Amino acid sequence: MHFRHGSRDEPEINLIPFIDVLLVVLIFLMLSTTYSKFTEMQLRLPVADVEAQRDYPKEVIVAVSADGRYSINKNVLPDRSVEAVAAALAAAAGGARDNVVIISADASAAHQSVITVMEAARRAGLVQITFATQSAAQAGR
């Protein structure tokens, strides 16, 4: 028996037929895929009564000026203490607890002035507080 000793050729994997087959499969899948639209749902949206919405909830608007003065529903308060602001908020709310306090503070107002309004609202029993802002387009005018 005669065995050959010498260099052995390493088997090579030819990738070109593999790539050809993958391209054919890809083209087949692209052509055979159906693109379907999503089914649309028919919706009837509820209609809001704008006039009824304006009456509820009642808003108490508190304006805070840059120098720390308070105005509740356009009535300027002479005193700046928490107790005075709380009494004015309770009077403006009329004893109702579901009123919304809207704090409209000047951009340069002290942070403590806004905290004073929030503490006064808590003491008056008003727990719904929101802040009024203006858009950047309005601020540039």
Read off the DSSP letter of residue 90.
H
Query: Average pLDDT, whole number, for the chain?
Result: 81
Q: What is the pTM of this model?
A: 0.56
Tens of pLDDT, residue by residue, the chain (141 residues)? 566 666 677 778 888 999 999 999 999 988 888 766 666 656 666 676 666 555 556 889 999 988 889 999 888 999 889 999 999 999 988 877 788 999 988 888 889 999 999 999 999 999 889 888 776 655 555
Distance from C-alpha of 47 to C-alpha of 53, rounded to nearest angstrom: 12
pLDDT at 66: 87
Burial environment of residue 35 by CB neighbours within 10 A (0 to 12, 13 to 18, 19 or more):
exposed
C-alpha span between 128 and 102 (Å, rounded): 9
pLDDT at position 108 = 84
pLDDT at 74: 87
